[in-house]
DNA sequence: TCTTGACTTAGACAATGTCCAATGTAGGAT
DNA sequence: ATCCTACATTGGACATTGTCTAAGTCAAGA
């Protein structure tokens, strides 16, 4: 993730302790925290970081295309640092955990042109829901 | 939609003016209101209806499988009365309007079994995003 | 028509997210 | 090394969306 910080600095991002901490928290694969979870974890390393800054920074990372915003339920959005690998999500309807998954075929191809109603379609997201093995064995 | 009311009454639903009004508001195709929009429209016909009742009734309709809950952005959930026809959604990233669309192929087939990680997948939702013709011409 | 349990209500509360004015600071300029 | 200043951060008020509860109301069966 440190190359991320380099890349952003090259784009004129001012590098602050707060931004570095947020980026560090998001580091890793299969990480899907809510904004407040990111804030809680960031607070462990930088106790005075404010909620507003975390929201701002996450929003910037999303605009810059470095992080994906995932709204799986109607609850809090989750942030996915794995933005450079095309993937979709598999969500457990019981416990809410998320897995990244990779598809066989481009879901955009499944939408016939007449069904696009003149929209310039630029993005597709596919969410699979089901019960994860862990919840299933405990039921 | 009046057959809906009949069906629900058969399932032990007590038929009240409030529930009738909510169902009437949801009547129609390509209707995707938020809960508060439903409340506003319901208020036109039944001024004293409360927000809590609208939320309750929508929740019941969803549990009964008569209405779909759609969370397209991280904002308010929208309610889709077209629950009995399999379909997906196309959302305008600018103005937020939603169209129902129908796919060529089953999106479940695009997820290879090894990518299911032992989940019992029961549901798929596909959301396409883009700029609608109206927003595009006004840009 | 009476009765009763289900329904509705108003408003407090909770969770998530946004905004703003005051303050602080990264990094280029000197 | 220090100074400047535009950009970043802060805290707290506010907004939006949704949930809960206690008290009152009513649909529909007896």
Residue-wise pLDDT tens for chain A (139 aa)? 568 898 999 898 999 999 999 999 998 778 899 999 999 999 999 999 999 999 999 999 999 999 999 987 778 999 999 888 899 999 888 777 889 999 999 999 999 999 999 999 999 999 999 999 988 887 6
- Residue range(s) occupied by CATH 1.10.10.10 in chain A: 2-80
The answer, yes or no, to whether residue B1 has pLDDT greater than 70, is no
A88-137 classified as CATH 3.30.1490.190: yes
Nearby residues of A24 by Cβ (< 8 Å), 6 or more positions away: A1, A45
C1' of nucleotide D12: residue with nearest CA: A52
Asked if A129 and B122 come within 8 Å (Cβ–Cβ), the reply is yes
Nucleotides in D strand less than 7 A from protein CB: 7-12, 16-21, 26-28
What pLDDT, on the 0 to 100 scale, is given for residue B30? 81
Distance CA B126, CA A106 (A): 12
Question: Any idea which architecture A2-80 has in CATH?
Answer: Orthogonal Bundle (1.10)
Q: How many separate helices (H) and strands (E) can be counted in chain A?
A: 5, 6
Residue for token pair 């925290």? A33
Q: Are strands A98-101 and A88-92 parallel, antiparallel or unpaired?
A: antiparallel
Strands B120-131 and B88-92: parallel
d(CA A127, CA A119): 21
Between the CA of residue A65 and those of A37, A47, A79, A81, what are the distances in Å? 21, 27, 12, 10
Each residue's pLDDT tens digit, B87-96: 999 998 877 7
Return the number of other C-beta atoms located less than 10 Å from residue A41's C-beta.
16
Listed residue (A10, A32, A1, A30) closest to A100, CA to CA: A30
What local confidence, expressed as pLDDT, does residue A92 receive? Answer: 87
pLDDT, mean over chain B? 91
**Chain B touched by A69 (CB under 8 Å):** yes
Other beta carbons within 10 angstroms of residue A121's beta carbon come to 19
Q: In this model, does residue B49 exceed pLDDT 60?
A: yes
Q: In this predicted structure, what is the pLDDT of residue B2?
A: 60
- Whether B72 has a pLDDT exceeding 80, the answer reads no
Cross-strand partners of B75: none
Q: Is the CB of A53 under 7 A from strand D?
A: yes
- At residue B73, the pLDDT reads 74
Under 8 Å CB-to-CB from A121, ≥6 apart: which residues?
A: A108, A111, B90, B128, B129, B130
B104 touches chain A (CB under 8 A): yes
Q: Where in chain B is the domain with CATH 3.30.1490.190?
A: 88-137
Asked if residue A110 lies in contact with residue B126, where contact means CB atoms within 8 angstroms, the answer is yes
- A110 to chain B, any CB pair closer than 8 A? The answer is yes
Of the candidates A76, A93, A125, the beta carbon closest to that of B127 is on A125
Model pLDDT, residue A136: 84
Nucleotide nearest to B50 (CA to C1'): C9
């Amino acid at each position: 993730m440190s190359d991320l910080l380099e890349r952003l600095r090259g784009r004129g991002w001012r590098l602050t302790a707060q931004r570095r901490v947020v980026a560090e928290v998001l580091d890793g694969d299969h990480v899907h925290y809510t904004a407040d979870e990111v804030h809680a974890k960031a607070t462990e390393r930088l106790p005075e970081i404010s909620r507003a800054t975390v929201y701002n920074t996450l929003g910037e990372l999303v605009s810059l295309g470095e992080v994906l915003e995932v709204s799986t339920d109607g609850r809090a959005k989750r942030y996915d640092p794995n933005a450079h690998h095309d993937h979709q999500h598999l969500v457990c309807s019981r416990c809410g955990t998320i897995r990244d998954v990779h598809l066989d075929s481009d879901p955009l191809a499944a939408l016939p042109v007449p069904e696009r109603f003149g929209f310039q379609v630029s993005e597709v997201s596919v969410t699979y829901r089901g019960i994860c093995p862990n919840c299933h064995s405990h039921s």
